[in-house]
Amino acid sequence: MRRSRGRQILALVAALTVVGTPTALVAGAADGAAASADPCAAWMDPSDSAARRADALVAAMTQDQKLHMLTFGDPPWFAYWGTAGHVDGIPELCIPDLVLSDAGSGVAGLQIATTVFPSGVAQAATWDRGLQRRIGSTIGAEAFAKGINVMLGPGMNIARTPYNGRNFEYFGEDPYLASRTAVSVIEGIQSHPVLADAKHYAFNNQETDRMTVDVRVDERTRREIYLPAFEAAVKKADVGSVMCSYNRVGGTYACENPELLTGYLRDDWGFDGFVVSDWGAVHSTAPSARAGLDLEMHAFAAGVPATPVTGSAGRYFGADQLQAAVDDGQLRQARIDGMVRNIVRPMFEHGLFDDPVSPGAEPFLSDVSTPEHLAVARRAAADATVMLKNRDRLLPLRPVEGGRTIAVIGWAANPVGAANAVSGGGSSHGSGLPPRVVSPLEGITSAALERGDRVVYVEGSNVVDARAAAAAADVVVVVATDGSSEGTDRADLGLRPAACLTVFCQAIPIEQEDMIAAATAANPDTVVVLDVGAPVRMPWLPDAGAVLVPWYGGLQHGNALADVLYGVREPGGRLPQTFPVDEAQHPFKPEEYPGVGGKESYDEGLLVGYRWYDATGTRPLFPFGYGLGYTTFGFRDLAVRPTAGGARVSFVVRNTGRRTGAVVPQLYLSAPKRAGEPPRQLKGFTKLTLKPGESRRVSLALDRRAFSVWSTRRDRWVVVPGTYGVAVGTSSRDLVLRGRLAR
């Protein structure tokens, strides 16, 4: 859609009033109407390449206009229609506003009347790339409708420990799963005139000391574990922007780190979008610009003290600051031009010029959470739910003569609790205002009434009440939550609810483990529901009848939970992160996490998540990739065939149960010993639904990278020759087909 007639006239009037700038327009007025028809003609032809359009625009810009593009506009942060940040457009150049908002589970921050989707870890838990793309596309549609054209997500940092307060926003512990999920979500968001943003680049795997911690991680571990998701976002999803993180890497802040912002990103991966800082993550003018930072963002305009909460002291990319750096030779003009080009090129490429947004009261107040979007959120919440236990097929709940009594227990089950547990804390928190989250209690009650079941509710922090209600019921659904949040790490694997006021969440003292223990001890037919963002310990597990992990399920959590309980939909999730037995099982030395003297050393190297459990022969509570459904599957006929660049692995999957169900076949590769790799690594997966008795041959392709390791000696990827183990199964520990391949 071209710019509206009104905007064209506005641009024309603006251009005509520009004094002292001999634009093509003014010169053209004397010699012909054509040139004056559109002052932006040189760069507003949608059929032209983004690169050419960007070059033409930059060539037409004054220095002031260029410098204007490189830092956040006033008022900053939420004061601009509830968004995280913006750069005012330049109408005379047809440059639209650049409006940035959070984030991974929907249009969040101080936005209202948007859909809150299941959080990042839940999106990964679906292992369903089509659904992830759908979620991304729905988020992109709502962003555009809200007058936003940069979504500050997805976050894709690897879950190195279970304690990171932002694990809920990210895609788990494995680089292959995180990469595929990131690509799918980005493709969805960018199917609209909205840019996605790969964050937080890079090695931002804790919150305790996030603003200043200096991360030390060896090159091979960087390349094989922590960078692949960002590399895929750039090379496979053409992400429009990357957000450099707060922390230091090897002694240099990420936002002024040439190795990160130019070496990996531009030189190795060919990134052609822009690098935007995290809010308050800039600590210099010329060094940051020279390193590869293009756009500065901060929550505060100027003159705030640098603190561990607010970040740096204020603006570093102001026009005067940048011009002074050019004037005194610290910064080349060519770099300034390049920074502007890096910003406008993806804007051209992804339609932001041709379909500009207009933030304002109308979009801010509009309700963009349509029934179709809520249906996507409901389906995603069920398909992300991981069922960890289902003793004697307690679930799904089958019809009983005369109905049954269901006791629903827990603060997190009621509307107040559910509104707080709708998503994790911090910038990505979807407030769900106006309140429209469907709580577990509401969802279960409406589903139960349709089936002639009865529901009683107790809040449950008084374990006597919890025990009595459980004992008196036919089935119990006890709901608990752990309030993970940006800005703070988890103290342990316990369950600590949080109360949230928009993006600010605070842990509140509601005891839940005793509540769960009381309910499961009082009634064997107890379903434990964990609304969490990361692994939790389960001392009550032996007594539980069933365990469901819906993560932070978004606005439709209650309906999706009822769909799963009654079998309308299956619990379609599989774990994107290993669940330890307890805190003692996978310890971290202080210098490894959260660091000592401001330095954090990733001494474990490649042994992250299941890689560590496999290498140490440790049995976790639940392994990576694990999850139960409502039917069963058999695998047979493994065939492994070498191809030009890698291999093709195929096998037959059969639904051996009595109901239609989904299965997530996972392919793990074991490199030859001398490769020095972890015992096995995820290199392929798919998700398919089969009817009872139906069989299908699945074929997964392995590319050259699947057989490669990063050679620090040769500074590139190298294929290690030898015999590879090929294993297929339903989790990293349930591998039922095994083969070998010589490379």
Residues of this chain, 95-134, that bind ligand GLC according to CB under 6 A: 102-103
Torsion 658-531-150-110 (CA) sign: positive
Residues of this chain, 35-94, that bind ligand GLC according to CB under 6 A: 84
Tokens 């190195």: give the residue.
Answer: 160
Which residue, 119 or 427, is less far from ligand GLC as judged by CB?
427
Which residue, 88 or 511, is less far from ligand GLC as judged by CB?
88
Q: How far is the CB of 240 from ligand GLC (least distance, A)?
A: 15
The tokens for 192 are 């609209």
Q: How far is the CB of 84 from ligand GLC (least distance, A)?
A: 4
Which residue, 210 or 389, is less far from ligand GLC as judged by CB?
210
Half-sphere exposure for 484 (CA within 13 Å, toward CB): 30
Q: Does 279 bind ligand GLC (CB under 6 A)?
A: yes
Q: How far is the CB of 9 from ligand GLC (least distance, A)?
A: 35
For 62-182, list the strands marked E by DSSP: 85-87, 98-101, 150-151
Q: How far is the CB of 101 from ligand GLC (least distance, A)?
A: 8
Number of residues that bind ligand GLC (CB under 6 A): 8
Q: How far is the CB of 103 from ligand GLC (least distance, A)?
A: 5
Which residue among 68, 133, 146, 199 contacts ligand GLC (CB under 6 A)? 199
Contact 585/618 with Cβ under 8 angstroms?
yes
Going by C-alpha positions, the residue among 348, 356, 357, 334 that lies closest to residue 54 is 348
Q: Does 171 bind ligand GLC (CB under 6 A)?
A: no
Which residue, 245 or 342, is less far from ligand GLC as judged by CB?
245
Q: How far is the CB of 624 from ligand GLC (least distance, A)?
A: 25
List the catalytic residue out of 238, 278, 489, 614.
278
Which residue, 69 or 152, is less far from ligand GLC as judged by CB?
152
- Our answer to whether residue 278 is catalytic in this structure is yes
Q: Which residues, in sequence order, are CB contacts of 72 under 8 Å at separation 6+?
A: 85, 86, 87, 295, 296, 297, 298, 315
- In angstroms, the CA 609 to CA 151 distance is 29
Which residue, 150 or 469, is less far from ligand GLC as judged by CB?
150
The tokens for 404 are 């049954």
* DSSP one-letter string for 315-330: -S--HHHHHHHHHTTS
**Beta-bridge partners for 719:** 708
Residues of this chain, 137-156, that bind ligand GLC according to CB under 6 A: 152
Which residue, 202 or 478, is less far from ligand GLC as judged by CB?
202
Q: Does 649 bind ligand GLC (CB under 6 A)?
A: no
Rounded CA Rg of the chain: 27
- Window 497-536: contact mask with ligand GLC (x via CB under 6 A): ----------------------------------------
Q: How far is the CB of 195 from ligand GLC (least distance, A)?
A: 13
- In angstroms, the CA 83 to CA 95 distance is 19
Which residue among 38, 142, 278, 482 contacts ligand GLC (CB under 6 A)? 278
Q: Does 427 bind ligand GLC (CB under 6 A)?
A: yes
Distances (CA, A) of 37 to 18, 89, 91, 124: 16, 20, 15, 49
User: What is the helix, strand, coil percentage profile of the chain, to 5?
Assistant: 30, 20, 45
- In angstroms, the CA 230 to CA 578 distance is 22
Contact 378/115 with Cβ under 8 angstroms?
no
Active site members: 278
Give the interface with ligand GLC as residue ranges (CB under 6 A): 84, 102-103, 152, 199, 278-279, 427
